[in-house]
Amino acid sequence: MDILLQVTVILVCLFYGARKGGVALGLLGGIGIVIMTFVFGLTPGKPPVDVMLTIIAVVAASATLQASGGLEVLLMGAEKMLRRNPKYVSILAPFTTCFLTILCGTGHVVYTMLPIIYDIAIKNGIRPERPMAASSVASQMGILASPVSVAVVSLVAFLAKAPVDGHVIDFIQVLSITIPATLCGVLLIGIFSWFRGKELDDDAEFQKRIADPEQRQFIYGDNATLMGKVLTRDQWTAMWIFMGSIAVVACLGAFQSLRPLIGGKPLSMVLTIQMFMLLAGALMIVLTKTDPSTIGKTEVFRAGMIAVVAVFGIAWMADTVFEAHLPILKATLTELVKTQPWTYAIALLLVSKLVNSQAAAISAMVPVGLAIGVPPGYIVAFAAASYGYYILPTYPSDLAAIQFDRSGTTRIGKYVVNHSFIIPGLIGVGTSCIAGYFLASAYGLI
């Protein structure tokens, strides 16, 4: 009976915190941990300190890249590619936003691209909903394929404590599954988007809107572009420092022999990522004219610090409850997850929708999954299920896509759930989970 009450407290904290938004999600975990300790008498669990420190290091480097203007170098290159191939924007745009997320570790880079994608679509007679909705979903899917994202760093850190036959599923193995699985999902989203909805010429509602000269001017508007902007040497320097750091981290993950031996074992990838991300940020400050006071004001830094607080509160609260009842949970759920491991993916998807964060969902569910006997191979295979916040159109990137689409084709439907992002999200996440399963099987992890 106690465990049901405690799980109810967790769900209430998650639901209310998600509704409030921002750091509230993590802070509500504080209410939960106090109730568990002082009311139910449970022993406090362990906050995921390694995960939190890694998040801080990655976010600091990414925010420095944004503050330095190095991010604009990547965005301009992406725009140039899209404008050269406007007819294929419905397929190329989601790949563009996905790759930007993979490189930067955060889906928030999509905001700058959305008005550009809209401009390309509307000026070429393409229904804006097609690339806009696909790009928003793809930008979030790219998180699980990024070597510097909070979610991947968290996943690797948790898996490091759960070896399979004496072998740990390491950084490179995780990415060797999540990257191709993600790209398969994005490809299917693009193919679906190519054909979705009516052509603008056949859309009576759209034609009625542009019949009004003022509305037509509003919809077609002025060009949104980064083209023609002069990039400085410092911007290029910052971009190459950041990209170089990612390349070094990838090489050190692939070749253990390159890492120093600490206590007879290669330096852990968690510490390696922390070191090189801090180094990247430091080099960008030293070698460019970046003002350090602007780093903390960037969107990347703000979103990243919110993720730290969310992971802290949620993971600590959840660990306290599940660690206290681990024997009962193992006895009850072990057989279920062994015979029907896909149930873990469903649970992860639902928690993700509650917390609106892939990193927070992973921090809450992966330790629980490992504790009750979900094989690590399945946890990697179904990692894409940590993106479930497309189910309701409440995430900032989705709302931004609706706002930037002045044609009104990207929208929330009458019944709320029938919005522009639901089908691309289901296709993308479903495809990625299936691809992840086959890849994990091919690697012998399942």
Q: According to the model, what pLDDT value does residue 337 have?
A: 67
Q: Identify the pLDDT of residue 183.
A: 97
At residue 280, the pLDDT reads 93
Q: Which residue has the tokens 């928030």?
A: 108
Every domain of the chain and the residues it spans: 2-442
The per-residue pLDDT for 233 is 94
Strands (E), 194-343: 261-262, 265-266
**Three-state DSSP class for 264?**
coil
| 134 exposure class (CB count in 10 Å sphere: 0-12, 13-18, 19+) | buried
User: Helix, strand, or coil here: 156?
Assistant: helix
Phi, then psi, of 196 in degrees rounded to 5: -75, 150
Let me know: does 102 contact 178? Beta carbons within 8 Å.
Answer: no
Task: Determine the Cα–Cα distance for residues 43 and 303; give it in Å rounded to an integer.
Answer: 31
Residue 13 corresponds to which tokens in the numbers above?
């904290």
Dig out the tokens for 108 from the structure. 């928030």
The answer for residues whose C-beta is within 8 angstroms of residue 224's C-beta and 6 or more apart is 115, 116, 118, 119
Encode the chain (446 residues) as per-residue pLDDT tens digits. 677 888 788 878 877 776 676 678 788 888 988 998 998 888 888 787 876 787 788 788 888 988 998 888 888 888 888 888 888 999 999 999 998 888 877 777 787 688 888 888 988 899 999 999 999 999 999 999 998 787 888 898 888 887 777 778 888 899 999 999 999 999 999 999 999 999 998 988 889 988 988 888 888 876 666 677 788 999 999 999 988 988 888 788 777 788 898 888 788 777 888 899 899 999 999 999 999 999 998 877 887 787 788 778 877 887 787 778 767 766 666 666 667 888 889 888 887 876 677 887 888 788 888 888 888 999 999 999 999 988 877 677 787 788 788 888 998 777 767 889 999 999 999 999 999 999 999 988 87
Q: Other CB atoms closer than 10 Å to residue 261's CB: what's the count?
A: 10
CA dihedral over 313, 314, 318, 321, signed as positive or negative: positive
Q: What is the pLDDT of residue 387?
A: 94
Angle value at C-alpha 349, between 317 and 405, nearest 5 degrees: 115
| Token output for 258 | 């390159």
How far is 161 from 145, CA to CA, in rounded Å? 21
**Token pair belonging to 129:** 């909903």
Question: Based on C-alpha coordinates, what's the Rg of the chain?
Answer: 22
* Rounded CA separation 12/351 (Å): 12
Tell me how far apart the alpha carbons of residues 41 and 132 are, in angstroms, rounded to a whole number: 50
- In whole angstroms, what is the distance from residue 140 CA to residue 142 CA? 5
